[in-house]
Amino acid sequence: MSDILLGLALVFVGVFVIFAIMIVSEVSKRGVKISFLWLRLYIIKYIHEYRKLTKEETGKVGPLYYPCIISVNLALICAIGGLLLRR
In this prediction, residue 72 carries a pLDDT of: 97
* Class of residue 44 by CB neighbours under 10 A (exposed 0-12, middle 13-18, buried 19+): exposed
Per-position pLDDT tens, the chain of length 87:
999 999 999 999 999 999 999 999 999 999 999 998 999 999 999 999 999 999 999 999 999 999 999 999 999 999 999 999 987
- Whole-angstrom Cα distance, residue 27 to residue 33? 8
SS (H, E, C) 2-19: HHHHHHHHHHHHHHHHHH
User: What's the confidence (pLDDT) of residue 51?
Assistant: 97
pLDDT for residue 87: 79
Structure confidence at residue 31 (pLDDT): 93
Say which amino acid occupies 48: H
